[in-house]
Each structure stands twice: as structure tokens, then as C-alpha cells.
Structure 1
Amino acid sequence: MGKFFQIITHAFLIVFTAEVVFAFFLLVGDLFRLVLSISSNFQPDGFQVLGRSIYWVDFAFVMFCLTVLLFIFGITRGKYAYRVIKHSLYFDDLPNSFDGFTITQISDIHAGSFTKPKQVQKGIDLINAQKSDLFVFTGDLVNNAASEIVPYIGHFSQIKAPFGQFSVLGNHDYGDYIKWPSEADKIKNLQQLKSYHAELGFKLLLDEHVEITKNGEKIILAGIEN
């Protein structure tokens, strides 16, 4: 049922977005025709109503198809197109021991969208290849249900960093986007999700902080709920 619902949701999203794009380009063309029609009122021949150009309709349809193709690529292949983006941060009051300290941050795992464990493993290997001092995950472990992460616990639990792995919850982790049989089931799901963070080796920070100590100096890592 979960996979079927996901397929239906994706199909609706693709078609709806593509139709919005199609309508947008038709509207742009109509507005342009309207301006030309109004301007023709000041010509000797008087006001003329211009018809839609078949070429512009064809162009709008091409944009519709392109939108569909881009969405399909993103859903099937793009979600595994991992990239490493590096930033250098500077702080005047940073303790000397933390000069050059490295952090790997990832977000929005959305485990329920994965279908290829081998591709997920490539992402895990890429994370560990950074050999960062600290790892942080900043929310949205699942789409809706805690059970989505279960098939991938063995993958994400491989992530290790010398100064620890830390995480916070994202908006999807609270289960607000699906209907639960009862409020108790929703609460149980959230508690289960929190326990999975521990199984992954992530220290979940819920409106709390930890001290990261190096050579007797320290920085504070804080995590807040969504």
C-alpha cells in the first residue's frame, strides 16, 4: 500500500506540475496576444483579435514534456546523484584547537523514496570518504513512517566520525502528512523513529546541546526540534 500510494503521489505531482508549466506558457502567449490586439486598436485597420500561434502551443507542449521528463529523472535517478559541496567557515572566537575542524552535514534522507540499496551505499561511502571530524544529519529521515528507514539501518549505521554523529528531527519525521488510525499510533511512530536514530549511531538532539572537546578546548553543538 505504501509503495502504491507513493507511485500515485508521484504521478499526480508530475502531471499537476507539468500542467501548471503548460498553462503558464499559454498564459504568457495569451497576454502577449492581448497586448498586440490592444495596440492594433490604434492602427488604421482598427482593433484585431489575434489567434493563438500553433507554434507557441507546440512550444508550451514541449515544456510540458520536458517537465515530465525532468521529474521522472529526479525521482528515479536524480535522488542518487550525490555531490559534495565544501564551504570554509571563519569565526573570530573559534578555539585554536578547532582550526581546520571538519564537519560533514547531510539532510533530507527521506528513506521511503529509496529503491536501490546499492546506490544508497554509494552515498554512505562518499560520506565516510570525507573523513570529517564530526557528522551531522539535519532532519527528514523518512517521508512519513518510521519503518521506512529499517531496510537502510545497516547502511547509515556505517557512518562514523571521531567526534561523533549527531542529528535532529525534520518536519516529515513527525508524521504530520499522513492520516494515522489514532493519535497514539502517531506518537508511537515518532518514538520508534527516535529509537532508530540511536540504532544508526546518531545522537538525537531535541532542544539540547553537547560540548565537543578537543585538546581541552570546546565548542557547543546545539540541536532544536523542527
Structure 2
Amino acid sequence: MIVAIIDYGSGNLRSAAKAFERAVAEADVDARIRVTADADEVAAADRIVLPGVGAFADCRRGLLGLPGMSDALASAVLEKGRPFLGICVGMQLMATVGREHGDHPGLGWIEGEVALLPAAGEGLKIPHMGWNDLRIAAPAHPVLAGLASGAHAYFVHSYAFVPADPRRVLATVDYGAPVSAVIGRDNLVGTQFHPEKSQATGLRLITNFLGWRP
């Protein structure tokens, strides 16, 4: 099994790759982790991971600026149904629109917007940074197997995904109001938190993703 972690100049790729390599080793999964900016490698991968750190528009520009990447993602993820994991801004890019510093189109894979955290109106610090407890809304989802409400995850973000369909929210976190922590549909799943920094919670989610058969 080939797991492609897309390198488009955003995200802690070394940390993400190490977390996936650890999950592969500990779960004894027959998989190779490849950090790549090559569209052909992404198109041929069995699983695709899109990390992301920074502003929504910059990440989208960097991703779609890679030659052939837009077509490779559409083919592998949308047409062939390969399991996809978006991390932080990589998750947000699945939205219809991101509203950070103006309105910017997303990939449109899951209808919804990426908007400023509601905590901005509650006197809480922005960005939301540090450990927080997950509230699992879809315990039956295979990627959340073995995780219960109260599991700790590490967040760093000022904007959050607000899906048009609340059924797309698989887990939330409380920061001034419930905020999407995990979203998904079909072969797509995304985490607002960083699994690679979330210790046992993150390792379990990555291991689940490696074994997921949507």
C-alpha cells in the first residue's frame, strides 16, 4: 500500500511522515509512506494525505499550482474513491469557500464554508492553540474506532469548517461553541487538529485511516 503525503510547501511534512511511519510500524501494516509533489505518484497512491498550515488561499494556490495535481486528485479521490485524509488547512480546503482574508473557492468536495472561530466573539484567544477534548458525534465511523469523547487532540487554528450538512461533522471540540474537529463523507475525512502532534489519539486515528475501507 502506498500512502502519498502531498508536499505543496505547507505543513510539517517531516512530522506527519514520521507519525505515519510509526503507525505503520506499530500496527505492522504493509505500507510505504511517500512525501511527494508529483501528481503521477498521487494519482497512483492507495491513500492520500493532505496536510496544511497557514492561510486558506495560500494553501489552495500552492496545492493547485503543482502541475497536474488538480486532475490527479479528482481522479484518485473523486473518481476512484481512494481514502483521503485532510489535516488542518488540508481539511478546510475540502470546503466550498474559505472566508479568511476575503472569500476564496475551495475544492468543493464537502459543501460548507471555513469561517472565523465563534470564540472571537466570546473573548477567547484566537488562534485556538493547544490541547482540547474531542466530542465524538459519529462513534461508528471506522476512522474514529477506539476513540471516545474526552480524547485529547492538539489544535492550532483561527478558522473552522462549517459544513452545510451537520451530518458531515464526525467530532467536535468546544471553543466558545461546538467547532468541527473531524468532518467526512464517503471516502473523505478531515481533522482540524494535528494527528501527528496528538500522541495516542493521533496515532490511533492514523492507524484507523490506514485500515479504512470506505
More strand as a share of residues: 2
More helix as a share of residues: 1
